[in-house]
Amino acid sequence: MSIEVGQKLPSASLQEGNPGNQVDPAQAFGSGKHVVFAVPGAFTPGCDKTHLPGYIADFQQIKDKGVDSIACVAVNDVFVMDAWGKAHDAAGKVRMLADPNAEFTKAVGLDVNAKALGGTRSKRYAMIVEDGVVTALQVEPDGFGLSCSLAPSLIESL
């Protein structure tokens, strides 16, 4: 069962920049207003050409709606997520958070068996988190599409 609007984000161990830099989403998004979106895989076509670039392009518009931070989560290793962020100049706009063991993804119940990508991955979604509580959640109906989880759709919910 997936996380629902009104529920608190669970604690988990995400990584940012290097394996030693652990990020607990419950703490990182426990105060203020945040956008968290997830993709099935870094550098995969829809994620690389549409999803991440959209949040980077709409960064200022999202910030202007009172959002403190934007984060991208993927079931990839931290080095891949760091390289992907650098490839798109995400620094200062979108935090690139690796979930190498799908710990957070499973804790929020948004994991999917994506055999074409090597196994367990995240469904594509976007959520708004205010003071640690999910206030909006938009999950792609098939888990992989590019519609309701994209930046323009999320902006409508802010």
> How many CA atoms, within 13 angstroms, populate the side-chain half-sphere of residue 139?
17
Q: Kindly give the pairing relationship between strand 125-130 and strand 94-98.
A: unpaired
Cβ atoms 69, 95 nearer than 8 A: yes
Place of tokens 């652990």: 22
Place of tokens 């995969």: 44
- Would residue 72 show up in a list of annotated catalytic residues for this protein? no
Look up residue 30 and give its DSSP letter.
Answer: S
- The single residue of 14, 23, 47, 97 carrying the catalytic annotation is 47
Number of CB atoms found within 10 A of residue 11's CB: 13
Sign of CA dihedral 63, 111, 108, 99: negative
Residues annotated as catalytic are 47
